[in-house]
């Protein structure tokens, strides 16, 4: 098999100071990130990847995304380490975007300045809320002023390309005003905003609290109202709603994420990371210690893989197309699919223009449901 050349790389940084009660990501709780252990483990994985021959890093890398976890917990030297790991010579002129995630409490001046020097040109800051009791409920360590401070620190270090993450659909018990959080987010004037609805995973403290009746998640109507309120506020302020969860000022759309939405190949390094070398999708073990033990011996941390079949690929194409502003070609949907799209349009869930079907914000509220509906008639 000829190795797939990848020019987009995701690197997972697993450490968090504590686990937020709703989080089921591949996270290792540590007060201080182990940057040396992390880089050594990633280097071991990269050697195993090269030996295996499924992927080969392209001579020129286009996009890098360091996510977590809390990458900023790894401190100032982390991104220079990532550059050395991937090869400085590969991160030259062709590099279109290098994003790193940061949480407000660990985005210090020295972290921001060192990351910028290392070549990171986009920061994704997990602000989530400006409401102190909500931040405490979420287990976050930054205070109500944390977001503004983080954005100031980032800009002072030379970052123009900033994205901020906000969470919605939190239980009413938090007492959070969604309107206030939206207004303070707009005041940050970041060129990119990502919006995530709280999802209750059964194997988390929040999931258990909900099962025991100690917490009450919002109902579908409240979820819909908050989402639509955010869409109206952000679009009213000039942001383009270009993907179900993402908003950007024109020209500031995330480049790396579009790789996932286009079905392009990518390499994911780190515990729990996924990679895609069409038609093979593979993912690593989630547990940091297991990942580390294997990679330090240059063994592959792969947990499993699947070959994406034609049927699964068609389903995925529907899902990826509907979640972005790109939409789907109406012609490719056949008679039954086009009839369904027309019915969605009549219900305000989609538009049909220029031969393409695109979901509206109302449609994106029920995206998963619409994907299933369409796949039943187009890719049964």
Q: Which is nearer to ligand SF4, 69 or 301 (CB)?
A: 69
Q: Is 327 left (phi over 0), alpha (psi -120 to 50) or beta?
A: left
Q: Which is nearer to ligand SF4, 103 or 271 (CB)?
A: 103
C-alpha to C-alpha distance for 332 and 329, rounded to whole angstroms: 5
Q: Is the peptide bond before 198 cis (omega within 30 degrees of 0)?
A: no
Report residue 285 as tokens. Answer: 């073990």
Nearest to 28 by CA among 39, 17, 38: 17
In the complex, the smallest distance separating the C-beta of residue 19 from ligand SF4, rounded to whole angstroms, is 5
Nearest to 329 by CA among 354, 359, 301: 354
In the complex, the smallest distance separating the C-beta of residue 352 from ligand SF4, rounded to whole angstroms, is 38
In the complex, the smallest distance separating the C-beta of residue 181 from ligand SF4, rounded to whole angstroms, is 17
If DSSP codes are grouped into helix, strand and coil, which group holds residue 138? helix
In the complex, the smallest distance separating the C-beta of residue 30 from ligand SF4, rounded to whole angstroms, is 11
If DSSP codes are grouped into helix, strand and coil, which group holds residue 335? helix
CA torsion sign for 300, 304, 309, 313 is negative
Q: Which is nearer to ligand SF4, 181 or 358 (CB)?
A: 181
C-alpha to C-alpha distance for 82 and 42, rounded to whole angstroms: 9
Exposed/middle/buried for 358, CB within 10 Å: 0-12, 13-18, 19+? buried
Q: Which is nearer to ligand SF4, 206 or 254 (CB)?
A: 206
Q: Which is nearer to ligand SF4, 27 or 54 (CB)?
A: 27
Q: Which residue has the tokens 């039943």?
A: 376
* Cα Rg, the chain, nearest whole Å: 21
- Could you tell me whether strands 280-284 and 274-277 are parallel, antiparallel, or unpaired per DSSP bridges? antiparallel
Q: Which is nearer to ligand SF4, 30 or 224 (CB)?
A: 30
In the complex, the smallest distance separating the C-beta of residue 174 from ligand SF4, rounded to whole angstroms, is 15
In the complex, the smallest distance separating the C-beta of residue 291 from ligand SF4, rounded to whole angstroms, is 16
Q: Which is nearer to ligand SF4, 28 or 257 (CB)?
A: 28
Q: Which is nearer to ligand SF4, 8 or 70 (CB)?
A: 70
In the complex, the smallest distance separating the C-beta of residue 68 from ligand SF4, rounded to whole angstroms, is 5
Contacts to ligand SF4 by CB under 6 A: 16, 19-20, 23, 25, 27, 68-70, 103
C-alpha to C-alpha distance for 14 and 293, rounded to whole angstroms: 15
Q: Residues 198, 169: contact at Cβ < 8 Å?
A: yes
In the complex, the smallest distance separating the C-beta of residue 135 from ligand SF4, rounded to whole angstroms, is 11
C-alpha to C-alpha distance for 123 and 103, rounded to whole angstroms: 10
């Amino acid at each position: 098999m000829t190795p797939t050349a990848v020019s987009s790389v995701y690197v997972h940084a697993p450490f968090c100071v504590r686990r937020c009660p709703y989080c089921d990501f591949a996270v290792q709780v540590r007060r201080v990130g182990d940057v040396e252990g992390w880089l050594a483990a990633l280097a071991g994985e990269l050697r195993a990847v090269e030996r295996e021959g499924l992927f080969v890093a392209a001579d020129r890398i286009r996009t890098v995304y360091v996510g977590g976890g809390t990458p900023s917990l790894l401190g100032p030297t982390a991104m220079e380490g990532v550059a050395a790991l991937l090869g400085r010579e590969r991160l030259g002129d062709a590099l279109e975007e290098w994003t790193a995630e940061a949480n407000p409490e660990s985005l210090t001046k020295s972290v921001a300045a060192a990351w910028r020097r290392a070549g990171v040109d986009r920061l994704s800051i997990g602000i989530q809320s400006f409401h102190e009791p909500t931040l405490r409920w979420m287990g976050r360590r930054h205070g109500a002023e944390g977001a503004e401070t983080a954005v100031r620190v980032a800009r002072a270090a030379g970052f123009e390309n900033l994205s901020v993450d906000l969470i919605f659909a939190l239980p009413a018990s938090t007492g959070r005003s969604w309107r206030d959080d939206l207004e303070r987010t707009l005041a940050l004037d970041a060129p990119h905003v990502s919006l995530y609805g709280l999802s209750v995973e059964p194997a988390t403290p929040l999931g258990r609290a909900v099962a025991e009746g100690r917490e009450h998640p919002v109902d579908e109507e409240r979820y819909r109202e908050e989402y639509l309120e955010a869409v109206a506020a952000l679009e009213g302020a000039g942001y383009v709603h270009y993907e179900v969860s993402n908003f950007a000022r024109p020209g500031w759309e995330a480049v790396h994420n579009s790789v996932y939405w286009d079905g392009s190949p990518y390499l994911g390094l780190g515990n729990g990371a996924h990679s895609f070398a069409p038609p093979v999708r593979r993912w690593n073990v989630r547990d940091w210690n297991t990942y580390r033990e294997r990679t330090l011996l240059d063994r592959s941390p792969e947990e499993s893989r699947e070959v994406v079949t034609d049927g699964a690929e068609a389903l995925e194409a529907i899902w990826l197309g509907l979640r972005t502003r790109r939409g789907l070609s109406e012609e490719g949907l056949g008679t039954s699919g086009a009839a369904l799209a027309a019915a969605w349009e009549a219900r305000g869930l989609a538009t049909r223009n220029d031969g393409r079907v695109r979901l509206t914000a109302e449609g994106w509220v029920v995206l998963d449901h619409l994907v299933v509906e369409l796949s039943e008639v187009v890719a049964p």
